[in-house]
Each structure stands twice: as structure tokens, then as C-alpha cells.
Amino acid sequence: RDNGDNFASNIYFDRDEDLNLLNQTTRIDNEDEQGKNYEIDLSYEKTFQEKGRKWTIDGKYIARTDRERSEITEASTNNPFDTLFQRVFNDENQSRWLFQTDYVHPFSKNVNFETGFRANLRDIRNNYAVEQLENENWEVLDEFDDSLQYVENVIAAYVQAGHQVDWFSYQLGLRMEHTLIETEAASEGIRNTKNYVDFFPSVFLSFDAGKGNTFQISYSRRLSR
């Protein structure tokens, strides 16, 4: 749980070309913020009689909620009786599911095989609104009223195999990812979707030159989001 109060005071000076003061505006922002975090982890591992052979399952759930409320007052020296009052509401809820399973099977001392599956599911929702006091009534400012949802689901599967022969060893791998990304701005009626499949090969080569010297060559493709 995260709770906190933030206070900010900003003063703006309007001057002419000769730097004479024309107006002074003071804007005060008093914010109350509350947040909660939840996390659940589950793990399972199965071992076999064969050395190095195992099967693992991992699951995780993460959730966070943030609630922010601000009261804003703005007044100027030129119009001391025309004070601006605003309220800001910002609610953010995000959740993440992570599931992963891996299986390792050594066929012999020098031959190893591994495969696995991974799912990473994210959901972020953000509601934002600003109200302004007009004639003793709070009215929502349409240009600052929005609800945004962001969904990112990445599902991946991989296989890799390694083999060592005397002075030379190699490991080959391939990972496939299916990605679905959706964004939606409710107030504007805008929705975007990205749905694609991608492949990520990897190659690792190792050469034992003797006398404690080893040369390695590797290639892999990665994606940074």
C-alpha cells in the first residue's frame, strides 16, 4: 500500500518588453495519492532419475491500483475575485498474468534438448477527468475527460538443442512469439490493434583451442518493446 500527499505551488509572472510586471498568477495543487500492490507467485518443479532432466512450471499474478485526487486553486493579482477552482481525478488499474513452463531433457552427456512455453498478459486501464467550478456547480472539461485501455498479450514457444563433439560444441534455438496489442481511447472512439507473429533464431558456437583458450561465436535476434 502506498499513500501520500503532494503539494505544489507555482507562481507565474507576466512582464512586458521592459520587464515591468503586468500580472502575477499563483497556482496551488494539493494532491492525495493512494496505491495498492498485489502479487501472487506459484512454482512447481519435477525431477527425474536421469541427471539434468526436469520440468518446471511458474505462474505469477501482479496487480496495482493508483488513485489520485487533486484540488487546484489559481488566482491572479489582476483579477483577485475571479479565482479558478479545479478538481482532477486519475484512476489507474493494471494487472499482469505470467505463466511459463520449461522442460529439459539430456539425451546423453553431450546432447541436450530444451523446450518451453511462456504467456505474458498485461491489462492497463486509466480513467482521467478534470472538473471546474462554474456558478457553484462542478462541470467536467470535455478536453480533459478520457478513458484509456491498453492490452498487451505475448505468447511464446521455443525449442533449443545443444551438442558437444570433442573440441567443438554448438547450440541452436528458435523462439516463436505471437503478439496482440490493443489500445482504446473511449471518449474519442479511437481503437488500434496490432496482431503479428515473429520468429527469433539463435546460434551459439564454441571452439576449444586448447591450453585454456576458447573461442565463441553467437547470433541471436531480440525485440525490445
One digit per residue, the tens of pLDDT, for the chain of length 225 reads: 666 788 888 999 998 888 888 889 999 998 888 899 999 999 999 999 888 899 999 999 999 999 999 999 999 888 777 889 999 999 999 999 999 999 999 988 889 999 999 999 999 999 999 999 988 899 998 888 889 999 999 999 999 999 988 888 999 999 999 999 999 988 778 899 999 999 999 999 999 888 778 899 999 988 776
Distance, CA of 123 to CA of 156 (rounded, Å): 18
pLDDT value, residue 2: 62
Rg, the chain, Cα only = 29
pLDDT value, residue 164: 87
pLDDT value, residue 196: 94
CA angle 129, 130, 136 (to 5 degrees): 130
CA torsion, points 126, 132, 133, 134, in degrees to nearest 10? -130
For residue 212, give the 3-state DSSP assignment: coil
Reference 172, options 154, 183, 181, 159; nearest CA is 159
pLDDT value, residue 209: 81
pTM attached to this predicted model: 0.75
Reference 122, options 156, 150, 146, 86; nearest CA is 150
Set of cell numbers at residue 51: 541427471
Q: Is residue 105 a contact partner of residue 116, using CB atoms and an 8 Å limit?
A: no
**Ranges assigned E (strand) in the chain:** 2-15, 21-47, 54-76, 84-106, 111-134, 137-140, 146-165, 168-185, 190-210, 213-220
